[in-house]
Structure 1
Amino acid sequence: MKVLIMSDSHGLTQEIGMITDRHKHEVAAMIHCGDSELERKDPLMKDFLAVRGNCDYDAAYPNDVVENIAGKRFFLTHGHLYNIKMTLMNVAYKSEEMGADIICFGHSHAAGSEMIDGKLFINPGSIRQPRGRIEKTYAILELEKDQLEITYYDLEGKIVDELRNTYQFE
């Protein structure tokens, strides 16, 4: 099963539509980790599990979401309420409270993934203003039993090889 993850699109609409159209037939779920700057009722956001970022003003977005997908418990947040630009410790504690296996967040605009204490942390980067890379990125997580493969893509749909990782749940 595959899950599309994006964040920090900051008002982009054509790009969200393009990415959705490109992958909607291959993914079982789509996640937006905040700062879409679109209203929750915007048609582009209707198929996304989405959270509120520091630049989102529509209170219809929750700050956090916990969702079971493919037998794994996902914790979704933007990250600004957990100071993720400085440390993952706060969001790690919150995800522990929530019983999460996979933590998806944005805010820093820095693409990357990391397994810490048996939990997978994923930041898909930004499709508008990346930091630390030139590519504007989003990610697709493939879950197969206890193996997880994360693949990052640029806006054109080209794989960003150096960000690709495979993880095992213990």
Structure 2
Amino acid sequence: MEFLVVSDTHGRVEKVVKYAKGRAFTGIIHAGDYYRDGIFLGSELGIPVYAVYGNCDGVWDGIEEETIEISGKRIFLTHGHSYYVKHDLKLLAQKAESLKAELVIFGHSHVPVYTRINGLWFLNPGSPSLPREGKGGSVAILKILEEGFEAEIVYL
């Protein structure tokens, strides 16, 4: 199973649509800012969406966080602002561990990350529209495999 993972689109999804058109993704995972962009992308591409809202969304737009189970793998999805992810991942790790998650997908920092800390995977796709690390906009491709996860940061 292969998912397109995005975050922090902030109303600008053109590059994401261009990249995703014609690719066979199982679904989209959108980690907030803007929740409605995730819903739009799913509709535009005709695939299912998992999405949460971020600090730039209204609370009426979906849910703040979600634990998803896909192919027997537990994934904690959040925007990350409530866990102060711009400073460190400690609070986020504590929450994910309490949920028995194997992977955390988050956003907020606009900086892509794919790393494993103490057996827990962390994936932040960065931002396709407002990147903060100087390499250009990005998304991530997440493969859910029988033996675990593989992810790749893709610069648009």
Report the Cα offset of residue 22 of structure 1: 4.0
Q: CA deviation at 1:153?
A: 1.3
Check conservation: 2:36, 2:61, Cα contact below 8 A: no
Unaligned runs of 5+ in 1: 156-170
Distance in structure 2 (CA, Å) of the matches to 1:18 and 1:43:
14
Q: Is the 8 A contact 1:37 1:57 kept in 2?
A: no
Aligned pairs for 1:36-47 (under 5 A) are 36=34, 38=36, 43-46=40-43, 47=48
CA distance in 2, matches of 1:74, 1:103: 6
CA contact (8 A) 1:74 1:104 kept: yes
Q: How does 1:63-142 map to 2 (within 5 A)?
A: 63-142=64-143
The alignment partner of 2:18 has SS state of helix
Q: How many angstroms apart in 1 are the aligned matches of 2:42 and 2:55?
A: 17
CA contact (8 A) 1:78 1:106 kept: yes
1:35·1:52 contact (CA, 8 Å) conserved in 2?
A: yes
Aligned to 2:12: 12
Aligned to 1:162: none
Matched pairs, number: 152
Q: Structure 2 vs 1, CA of residues 16 and 61 (structure 1 numbering), >3 Å: closer, same or farther?
A: farther
- Does the CA contact (< 8 Å) of 2:13 and 2:37 recur in 1? no
SS class of match (1:126): coil
Structure 1 Cα separation of the partners of residues 94 and 108 of structure 2: 18
- Equivalent-residue separation in structure 2 for 1:43 and 1:129 (angstroms): 18
- Greater length-normalized contact order (CA 8 Å, ≥ 6 residues apart): 2
Residue identity opposite 1:35 in structure 2:
D
Change (3 A) 1:36 1:16: farther
Q: Which runs of 4+ in 1 moved over 4 A?
A: none
Once the two structures are TM-superposed, the CA of residue 76 in structure 1 deviates from its matched residue by: 0.3
The equivalences for 1:144-163 within 5 A come to: 144-155=145-156
Q: Deviations over 1:86-115 (max 9, x none)?
A: 110111111112111110000000111111
- Any conservation in 2 of the 1:111–1:137 contact (CA below 8 Å)? yes
Output the TM-score relative to the length of structure 1: 0.80
Q: 2:41 is matched by which residue type in structure 1?
A: L
